Amino acid sequence: MMKVNTEKCIGCSKCVKDCFPNDIEIIDGKAKINNEACIKCGHCIAICPMNAISTDEYDMEEVKEYNKDEFSIDPDNLMNFIKFRRTIRQFKNKDVEEDKITKIIEAGRFTQTGSNTQDVAYIVVKDKIKELKDLVLKSLKEIGENMLENLEDDNSPMKRYADMWIKMYNAYKEDPVKNDKLFFNAPAVIVTTSPSPVNAALASSNMELMVDALGLGTFFSGFFILAAQNSKEIQELLGVKEGKQIVTCMVLGYPNVTYKRTVPRKKAEISWK
């Protein structure tokens, strides 16, 4: 429940004006939160000049007062940081510390979600990463074999993927370390699940920024998503909860490669109306 400390409240109405579901009103010069349409977004907590609003549903110790020096980012530096981001597929033989993984997930936890549902869950795989890898490659091989059996056009672009997945599986079986073309011997994987692909994707985007800020590297494995969608074994290993779907898979580790510059991109397609 959202609560107002009436001794602190000065009735400025800032919370009323910023409340999207219109769940706050001023009564006798004090703010009153009805807690009927409230979605617990916390805008009222953030905007109150007197710090008069709190909630008993979340940890208020997490609330930080705004400080320009700690909260501001130079826009040009931010743009360069984004441009310098690279997909990493070469990893050092080095474990990723738990506190860094926790900080990455924090970046996802504080990402916006539709109607403040906060419905994104995170699955960290470290100890069972080889078991997971085995299941994913098996699933991809089976998908590839099924595709080859049903493809009518030998020139189909999908044939290339089918052949690739079968080759990946066979090579991995010969040498699981040298021929790991799935996770590239990374020590950790973070899987996001949610009923909303948009919410999990937004969280993952912020998580990737934190990955780079921590000196780590990652890539998003689309092959993993395809394999997981077609394998109950993978979903059972991960413990995906009912009502949630796997949205992203972040393969995580310390980069074993150094980049010297940004790369070019196509011009943005923009329509001004």
**pLDDT tops 90 at residue 73:** yes
Q: What is the pLDDT of residues 29-41, one digit of tens each?
A: 999 999 999 999 9
Q: Do 187 and 149 lie in a common domain?
A: yes
Helix axes 129-150, 157-174, angle to 10 degrees: 140
Report how far apart, in Å, the C-alpha atoms of 17 and of each of 55, 59, 68 are: 19, 25, 24
Contact 246, 229 (CB under 8 A): yes
CA distance 32 to 16: 9
Q: Do 121 and 50 lie in a common domain?
A: no
CA distance 188 to 255: 13
Q: Is residue 77 part of a domain?
A: no
Q: Could you tell me how many residues make up the chain?
A: 273
Q: Following DSSP, what letter does each residue of 112-177 receive, concatenated?
A: --GGG----EEEEESTTHHHHHHHHHHHHHHHHHHHHHH-S-TT-HHHHHHHHHHHHHHHHHH-TT
Q: How many CB atoms lie within 10 A of CB 33?
A: 19
Mean pLDDT of the 241-262 span: 97
Number of domains within the chain: 2
CA distance 193 to 209: 19
Report how far apart, in Å, the C-alpha atoms of 56 and of each of 33, 169, 201 are: 14, 51, 29
CATH number at residue 27: 3.30.70.20
Q: What is the pLDDT of residues 114-144, one digit of tens each?
A: 999 999 999 999 999 999 999 999 999 999 9
Q: What is the pLDDT of residues 87-117, one digit of tens each?
A: 999 999 999 999 999 999 999 999 999 999 9
**Spatial CA neighbour of 204 closest among 185, 224, 187, 184:** 224
**pLDDT tops 90 at residue 158:** no
Q: Is residue 25 part of a domain?
A: yes
Q: Is residue 38 part of a domain?
A: yes
Q: Is residue 95 part of a domain?
A: yes
Q: Do 33 and 91 lie in a common domain?
A: no
Q: Is residue 121 part of a domain?
A: yes
Q: Do 51 and 94 lie in a common domain?
A: no
pLDDT at 152: 74
Mean pLDDT of the 63-86 span: 97
Q: Do 95 and 228 lie in a common domain?
A: yes
Report how far apart, in Å, the C-alpha atoms of 2 and of each of 21, 37, 44, 96, 163 are: 14, 11, 9, 38, 56
Q: Is residue 159 part of a domain?
A: yes
Q: Do 41 and 161 lie in a common domain?
A: no
**pLDDT tops 90 at residue 153:** no
Q: Do 146 and 14 lie in a common domain?
A: no
Q: Do 180 and 250 lie in a common domain?
A: yes
Mean pLDDT of the 248-269 span: 98
Q: Is residue 220 part of a domain?
A: yes
**Secondary structure letter of residue 198 according to DSSP:** H
156 confidence band (pLDDT: 50, 70, 90): confident
Tell me the whole-structure pTM to 2 decimals. Answer: 0.94
Q: Is residue 74 part of a domain?
A: no
CATH number at residue 120: 3.40.109.10
Owning domain of residue 167 = 84-273
